[in-house]
């Protein structure tokens, strides 16, 4: 199997999920903890229960993206071609 085949979706997933989860954590979840923002007041994400569900989802995206990036980096290093010196 060519090494680009598993690396392409791994890097794409890491580069989209990781920043989304990390930025959303600091932009959406941290301010209400310090009283700098408000919890959602409408729809299915009302109050603390909705905020907790969002927190679990957003943090999971961040963790998954970072872990996927670490796995892709490790696989890329372990499968790189060796230099042949003469």
* 71 inside domain: yes
Domain assignment present for residue 48? The answer is: yes
Whether residue 29 lies inside any domain: the answer is yes
| Assigned domain for 5 exists | no
Is residue 25, in this structure, part of any structural domain at all?
yes
Per-residue pLDDT of the chain (86 residues; tens, 9 = 90+): 899 999 999 999 999 999 998 888 887 777 777 877 766 666 665 666 667 777 788 889 999 999 999 999 999 999 988 887 76
| Length of the chain, in residues | 86
Domain containing 32 equals 11-78
Neighbours of 65 (CB within 10 A): 20
Residue corresponding to tokens 């941290």: 30
Q: How many domains does the chain have?
A: 1
User: Is 35 within the bounds of a domain?
Assistant: yes
72, 12 contact by CB (below 8 A): no
Q: How far apart are the first and last CA of the chain?
A: 28
Q: Whole-structure pTM over 0.85, yes or no? A: no
């Amino acid at each position: 199997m060519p090494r680009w085949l598993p690396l392409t979706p791994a890097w794409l997933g890491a580069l989209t999920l990781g920043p989304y989860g990390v930025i959303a954590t600091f932009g959406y979840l941290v301010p209400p903890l310090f009283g700098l923002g408000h919890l959602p007041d409408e729809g299915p994400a009302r109050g603390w229960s909705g905020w907790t569900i969002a927190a679990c989802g957003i943090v999971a995206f961040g963790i998954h993206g970072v872990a996927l990036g670490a796995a892709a980096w490790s696989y890329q290093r372990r499968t790189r071609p060796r230099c042949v010196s003469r």
